[in-house]
Structure 1
Amino acid sequence: MERLQKVIAHAGIASRRKAEQLIEEGHVRVNGKVVKELGIKVSSSDKVEVDGIPLEREEPIYFMLYKPRGVISSVNDDKGRKVVTDFFPMIEQRIYPVGRLDYDTSGLLILTNDGEFANTLMHPSNQIDKVYVAKVKGIPTKEALKALERGVRLEDGKTAPAKVKMHTVDKKKQTAIVEIIIHEGRNRQVRRMFEAVGNPVLKLKRERYGFLTLQGLKVGDARELSPHEVKQLRALALKK
């Protein structure tokens, strides 16, 4: 037996909070009867409907993908471009990415059909480190690196403090390889941060998400996360 809002969230219909709202507003039926109580629990034999549509309950699954550049972090694209779910042709469940990586950014991306899990990882309060390695134009000054570490002012507000490390410098080509660790997930955040200090990103890869790394994966490869890894990610996201 599981709480009704959790079952709805696991089905990928909505986050648990949104599921609670749907229940309270009378959008949910269990075995033909409208249910507005949040405490109710249901079993696998109960028929659950949201706005008259039967809930298709799926076993939650969790994957990580080494996303290539030139791929959209979505389940479909109206321009016909390759999307991340194209790398899972044998998966029958409706999985979707947790957050996103830009079209031109490669690296570690999590996909799942567990709406509650996805919303927990993406919640602004979570402190999960995301490690990026960027090839940037120009050689960042010490002042630029310190600015990134303190947080830079973007059009949607100042970024949280980051950890920054210079890896290599190519004085001839006037480029540098820089590692940056952030825990926020704003749109194109790393690229915008480097642009703000005068060092536009030429190439970007996310190498780590929390404790997960790309070790053992080639570009375009994916693997299923273990139950222990899923549990660890939840614990990381809920840690304040």
Structure 2
Amino acid sequence: MERLQKVIAHAGVASRRKAEELIKQGKVTVNGKVVTELGLKVSSKDYIEVNGIKIEQEEPVYFLLYKPRGVISAVSDDKNRKTVLDFFPEINKRIYPVGRLDYDTSGLLLLTNDGGFANLLTHPKYEIDKTYIAKVKGIPSREDLKKLQKGVRLADGLTRPAKVKFLSGDRKKNSAIIEITIHEGRNRQVRRMFEQIGYPVMKLKRESFAFLTLHGLTAGEYRPLTPHEVKQLIALAKSGPSY
């Protein structure tokens, strides 16, 4: 069971706010009866019309994509660059990415047509852990990495504490591999954090999102989430950050 305005929004008829206005204006019927009050919950078996036109309810779907580098985390691009939807040619439902990964960043990205699920996983109040592997220019000292652990000040404010692990360093190439876990979702955040302490990111990959990993996938491949995984993500997000 879902709220009526949410179902209308999922069907692509209007935004949720606009759907609420349509309901208040008496332009929505459920099983032949006009509905004017918000809060009614409906199922996939209910017959819903907006302005006399039946809406088609979509079953919610959830996917995990191994996004390659050089791909836009959007449903379209005005520069005709490849988008994440290009990897789902056989999916005829209106899916979109949950959050985003930068054009030059690879790794785990979720896609869905469930707006409530997407909002829950991206809302600042409910942000959950995301782990990245970064190849940086230079070899950070323990003191440098502690700055990331405590939080660094960026143009849009102080970052929350991060979990940071030094994996390896190459003095000949003057580079290092660092694992970092954050639970915020600011634009290009990991790259900006490393730039702030003087170690620009050369390559970045999101290895995990909460308990989900890229295991079994190669770049450009995807798989559906299991119902249990969806329930786990919702429960985890509602429980709040782990640190």
TM-score, scaled to structure 1? 0.90
8 Å contact from structure 2 (residues 62, 225) kept in 1: yes
What's the secondary structure of 2:78's corresponding residue? coil
Once residues 113 and 126 of structure 2 are traced to their aligned partners in structure 1, the CA distance between those partners, rounded to angstroms, is 20
Aligned to 1:41: 41
Name the CA shift for 1:213/1:101 in 2 (closer, same or farther; >3 Å). Answer: same
Name the CA shift for 1:95/1:203 in 2 (closer, same or farther; >3 Å). Answer: same
Aligned to 1:160: 160
Once residues 52 and 101 of structure 1 are traced to their aligned partners in structure 2, the CA distance between those partners, rounded to angstroms, is 40
Once residues 10 and 236 of structure 2 are traced to their aligned partners in structure 1, the CA distance between those partners, rounded to angstroms, is 19
Once residues 139 and 26 of structure 2 are traced to their aligned partners in structure 1, the CA distance between those partners, rounded to angstroms, is 56
Name the CA shift for 1:143/1:24 in 2 (closer, same or farther; >3 Å). Answer: farther
8 Å contact from structure 1 (residues 14, 115) kept in 2: no
What's the Cα RMSD here? Answer: 2.3
Aligned to 2:236: 236
Once residues 101 and 40 of structure 1 are traced to their aligned partners in structure 2, the CA distance between those partners, rounded to angstroms, is 36
Gaps of 5+ in 2: none
Q: Give the paired residue count.
A: 238
8 Å contact from structure 1 (residues 26, 34) kept in 2: no
Name the CA shift for 1:67/1:20 in 2 (closer, same or farther; >3 Å). Answer: same
1:232 partner amino acid? Q
Aligned to 1:118: 118
8 Å contact from structure 1 (residues 127, 236) kept in 2: no
Aligned to 1:30: 29
Once residues 65 and 153 of structure 2 are traced to their aligned partners in structure 1, the CA distance between those partners, rounded to angstroms, is 31
8 Å contact from structure 2 (residues 47, 54) kept in 1: no
Gaps of 5+ in 1: none
Once residues 82 and 238 of structure 2 are traced to their aligned partners in structure 1, the CA distance between those partners, rounded to angstroms, is 33
Q: CA deviation at 1:22?
A: 4.1
1:121-132 maps to which residues of 2 (within 5 A)? 121-132=121-132
Aligned to 1:104: 104
Name the CA shift for 1:138/1:117 in 2 (closer, same or farther; >3 Å). Answer: same
Once residues 92 and 20 of structure 1 are traced to their aligned partners in structure 2, the CA distance between those partners, rounded to angstroms, is 23
1:100 partner amino acid? R
Name the CA shift for 1:171/1:22 in 2 (closer, same or farther; >3 Å). Answer: farther
Once residues 139 and 110 of structure 1 are traced to their aligned partners in structure 2, the CA distance between those partners, rounded to angstroms, is 32
TM-score, scaled to structure 2? 0.89
1:202-217 maps to which residues of 2 (within 5 A)? 202-217=202-217
Once residues 14 and 169 of structure 1 are traced to their aligned partners in structure 2, the CA distance between those partners, rounded to angstroms, is 51
